[in-house]
Chain A
Amino acid sequence: MDKYGIVLALFGAVISVLLAGIGSAMGVGLCGEAAAGVVTEDPSKFGKVLLLQLLPGTQGIYGLLVAVLTLIQIGILGGSAEVSFIQGLLYFAACLPMGVVGYWSALRQARASVAGIGIVAKRPDQMGKAMIFPAMVETYALLALLTSVLAVLNIPKISL
């Protein structure tokens, strides 16, 4: 059974990248459409709407981050660590928050971002406020990231 530990752990890493990445890709795409609409009207707002488009992109990066940490911990990226079945299961569980929360928060953040792009289209001077609304959503992706990272980093310390 212990052979399957590393498989489970890898599944976890993959899920973290997959879900968070898909969420971010969809989110950034959604914002890109809105941003492109604004730019057709006023090309000078490109810089501002680009920043807003980028905001839901961070979840994908957080997903990658958790995955890479997991890969390092289980010895796929350099080093060699023995991963027991239980540990593999733990890694799998540890990766879930980032994947699942990453996916949904990216989509919801994208909608807040699109609304923010609407603000910038009408009142470019309110850029600061427009960025805060999507940032509120990002908080939860950050909390998930924190949970996943703390768990992944501490799993080897548990004696099982």
Chain B
Amino acid sequence: MSIASMQKISIYALRKDRKPILETMQRLGVVEISDLDLNNESFEKIDTENSKQTFAKNAKVANDAIEIIDMYTQRKKESLLFLKGRKSISKDNYYTFVNETQEIMRVAYSVVNSSEDIFEEKSEITRLTLKKEALKSWVNLDISENFKGTKTTNAFIGTLPGEHTLDELLKKFSNLSDVENIIFEIISSASDQTCVFVLCKKEDSDVVEETLKNMGFAFLAQPTKSIPKDKIDRITEQVKEIEKKIKQKKELIKSYVGIKNALKFIVDYYSLRSQKYDIVSKLIHTKNVFMLTGYIKEKDSKKLESILTSKFDVAVELLEAKGDDVPISLENNGFVSPVEPVLESYSLPGKNEIDPSPIIAIFYYILFGIMLSDAAYGAITTIVCGLILLKFKNIESGFKKAVKMFLFCGISTTFWGIMFGSYFGDAIEVISETFFGTKIVIPALWFVPLNEPMRMLAFSFGIGIIHLFTGLFLKLYQLLKIKNYKDVVFDVISWYLLVGGAIIYLLSIPTMSELLTLNFKLSSSVGKIGAVCALIGAAIIIFTAGRGSKNPFKRLLKGLYSLYGITGYLSDIFSYSRLLALGLATGVIAQVFNKMGCMAGGGVLGAIVFTIVFLIGHTMNIGINLLGAYVHTNRLHFVEFFSKFYEGGGRKFSPFFVNTKYYKITEDVVDG
């Protein structure tokens, strides 16, 4: 139930055993390997950057190949993959795959290359299609494009801007000696250009050319020997050819669908090797020996030592881990560990700090429950999370923790829902009244916050005060642990006296207790004791909070400023009013949906409408309020709770382990 105690481990072994030793350590996954500084000339480091990158590249190619195969076989990504987790791989399969790595990589490259080819060929098709489109307007020209004329004639093949008719064009040539001497054909005509073929006698050619030029004539660009129609046919043929090629390549890619598992293995295999080479670069070597240092949890160290010494010639040295760089690993039971990620997402415990997870767990579940506070919503959350945990044994540990956390939160929500008498809001009342004519009310075990909001507000503040005081207590505990008794009195006890005393004094004022609808009364003499305590606390703070400064005047000012921190406590306590607000939000929105549902009245139609509104409305309400409860429970811990005692700043323990994407490689397999 705390921070795991760490040891510093150093391993000295023969260089020839480096590979199997590192692999053993990777499979065990218990050592965080540090980067050794090299300041001794008799040691060397090995630069593994090249091999590392080759492996990383291979892993990437295999990964791309998997994605490409998925794309062409139109397999949807398995959406619940994260629930199923990674499959284990047997020793036999492992070696089968390892023996075939070259072959599998060849396939991977072939898939990736084919996909690139397909991409290029597709753009080639686009280019050809464009060309074909341009040629279409020349399809009626039944002679070669570069036909210049015969012995006695000259030919002009080209385009005129705009749309023209034959008659209109012929009129332009009225200055010719004989219109009969010219052959004028319109190949095609469109709004932007007219394609024409003109044949005239050689002696007329200058005049004709002049006339045409004046009209904006342009020769056909890049004419070839062939007839346009043949050209078009040829392009069509080409496109068909390429399409066939694409189809073949697609088939090729699809045919590899069976090899996907092998590719997944390759991704893991090469990323593992890449990780391993990363570690190798952190070691230092002499000619025959290598050395590594790192951190290990104390409980794992004996096991690692015995495994290594039984297999190899190694010297293992274990020392007490000291200093600021020691990584943090939290160890808690199944009830507490689900909230570890919450703590982690703030910061891990720093120097001299305890692991507050157990306390967080208790308050987290309670606060979450009060915010969601509906028995039915809680039950649904509990059942869904329970089913996930039962059905998917193999889920990844991080996700499993989240599911577990919501399971406990769900149980707490159910509890508070029963206390406050909320089941899908007031669904039971509404259903019984609308459809069965009699109003059934399940009374709240404690009270209904909507009817007594002030009482709920007082309760929220109460929870808040307990939460904050627990935080302060943890500070006290931490200070006692490092035997800093002075700070215990000046920084903790003083605040307990001030805040606690002030609260007692306030509660003893009759109007205050009436306002908060408290069912107990504090006599005025108790109030006086509270007031005295508060004054003592305030005095301690004023005279000691500035004890860091030598100057007495400055010291007093600092003390007074610290006293101003009381406003922080005030706003912290008020911040817990969100327990009421979020609880009301859940309840009232649920009621709104119930009301909307029963607007169609009783009967069959009413029942159908009600069911639809009920399902949609409550699904939405659960979703939005789960999010709200999660975010605000986090906030109450991060801001209100942690500010009392917790700074964090620890570094996470990240051991060298088998970090794979697709397979769990658990068996003791050894290879290069």
Contact = CB atoms under 8 A, between A and B. Distances in A.
Interface stretch (B19-27, B437-445, B536-544, B579-587): B579-587
B581 A149 contact: yes
* From A57, A77, A131, A139, residue with most partner B Cβ within 10 Å: A139
B577 interface: yes
Interface in B342-362: 342, 345-346
A65 B341 CA distance: 33
Given A128-B345, A129-B345, A61 B638 contact: no
Contacts, number: 78
A65 B631 contact: no
Given A64-B589, A69-B588, A132-B638, A54 B342 contact: no
B481 interface: no
Contacts of B628: 58
Contacts of A132: 631, 634-635, 638
Contacts of B624: 54, 57-58, 61
Interface string B557-598: 000000000000000000101101110110011011001000
Interface residues of A, number: 31
Contacts of A135: 631-632, 634-635
- Kindly name the residue among B342, B588, B595 whose own CB sees the greatest number of chain A CB atoms within 10 A: B588
B386 interface: no
B585 A61 contact: yes
B29 interface: no
A60 to B, nearest CB: 10
Interface string A19-46: 0000000000000000000000000000
Interface in B41-66: none
B650 interface: no
B581 A142 contact: yes
A146 interface: yes
B345 A65 contact: no
B453 interface: yes
B634 A142 contact: no
Interface in B422-461: 450, 453-454, 457
Interface in B614-652: 624, 627-628, 631-632, 634-635, 638-639
Q: Tell me the interface secondary structure of chain B in the complex.
A: helix
Contacts of A55: 627, 631
Contacts of A129: 345-346
A138 B346 CA distance: 19
Contact of B588 (A65, A78, A136): A65
Nearest to A149: B584
A128 B341 contact: yes
A143 B485 CA distance: 39
A37 B639 CA distance: 31
Contacts of B584: 65, 145-146, 149
B454 to A, nearest CB: 8
A143 B591 CA distance: 21
A128 B592 contact: no
A114 B506 CA distance: 42
Contact of B634 (A128, A145, A153): A128
A69 B591 CA distance: 10
B451 to A, nearest CB: 9
A69 B639 CA distance: 31
A12 to B, nearest CB: 16
A35 to B, nearest CB: 15
A68 B614 CA distance: 17
A58 B577 CA distance: 17
22 contacts: A55-B627, A58-B628, A65-B584, A65-B588, A69-B588, A78-B595, A128-B341, A128-B342, A129-B345, A131-B634, A132-B631, A132-B635, A132-B638, A139-B575, A142-B581, A142-B582, A145-B584, A146-B577, A146-B581, A149-B453, A150-B454, A154-B453
- Closest 8 pairs between A and B when the two form their complex, measured CB to CB: A128-B345, A142-B581, A135-B631, A146-B581, A65-B588, A142-B578, A68-B592, A135-B635
Given A126-B345, A127-B345, 20 more contacts: A55-B631, A58-B585, A58-B628, A61-B585, A62-B585, A64-B592, A68-B595, A77-B595, A128-B341, A128-B634, A131-B634, A136-B635, A136-B639, A143-B577, A143-B581, A145-B584, A146-B577, A146-B584, A149-B581, A149-B588
Interface of A: 51, 54-55, 57-58, 61-62, 64-65, 68-69, 77-78, 126-129, 131-132, 135-136, 138-139, 142-143, 145-146, 149-150, 153-154
Interface of B: 341-342, 345-346, 450, 453-454, 457, 575, 577-578, 580-582, 584-585, 588-589, 591-592, 595, 624, 627-628, 631-632, 634-635, 638-639
